[in-house]
Amino acid sequence: MRILVIEDNQDILNNILDYLELKGCTVDCAQNGLGGLHLATTEHYDLIVLDIMLPGIDGFQLCKRLRNDAQIDTPIIMLTARDELNDRLEGLHSGADDYLIKPFALSELMARIEAILRRSRKTWQRQLQVGDLSYDLDTLEIKRKGQILKINPLGLKLLALLMQKSPAVVRRELLEETLWGDQMPDSDSLRTHIHHLRQVVDKPFATPLLHTVHGIGYRLAEK
């Protein structure tokens, strides 16, 4: 299984990484809220382990942004030294699936991960489909009308997010954050990447799927 750990305490982070890797997990990590948000919205994980007290944006805010803005339903276990009832409730209300109080046994963390994944079974759709456009997230194969399309890495990230949110409008800010995190380029960069994506996904075909919503963002849909 692939897990993202967002924790700013280096010792705790190292302990979790070592333990999960010994258990056969593939683990990515971030040590601040913005870095964690970027990974969580641009990569695909079976589960996220999220500390509350983080630099940048805290775990509560990060969790809310994943659930409400990015509409990501990957299971989340929150870690915190706070053991007050109101803190636990805030964590759950922000969108977390479970709440583990520090200090904790690594074996308990693993048991909770396994329990959540047993319940959720499948945390995201691996085969995306919008109209006659398909994207296999495992093989990275993209097809439209049976024709294989070649898209660069940044275009793949854009396409995955637009297809996951379809038919909803995806705001420019979220698309920029997905591509570049907090290292924002000049204002025309997103437009350039959207143009390249449209040239591959739409130009050779009769029906456009990628639509501009002026002043807001973009959407991928049949109409």
Q: Which CATH number fits domain 127-220: 1.10.10.10, 1.20.1510.10, 3.30.1330.60, 3.40.50.720?
A: 1.10.10.10
121 pLDDT band (50/70/90 cuts)? low
Residues in Cβ contact with 50 at an 8 Å cutoff, skipping those fewer than 6 apart: 6, 36, 59, 62, 63, 76, 77, 78, 79, 96
pLDDT score, position 119 = 77
Mean pLDDT confidence for 162-169? 90
Q: Domain spanning 2-120 has what CATH number? A: 3.40.50.2300
List, by residue range, all CATH 3.40.50.2300 domains of the chain: 2-120
pLDDT score, position 135 = 92
List, by residue range, all CATH 1.10.10.10 domains of the chain: 127-220
Mean pLDDT confidence for 76-94? 80
Angle 9-12-15 (CA atoms, 0-180°, nearest 5)?
Answer: 145
Residues in Cβ contact with 210 at an 8 Å cutoff, skipping those fewer than 6 apart: 162, 194, 197, 198, 201, 202, 218, 219, 220
pLDDT score, position 90 = 79
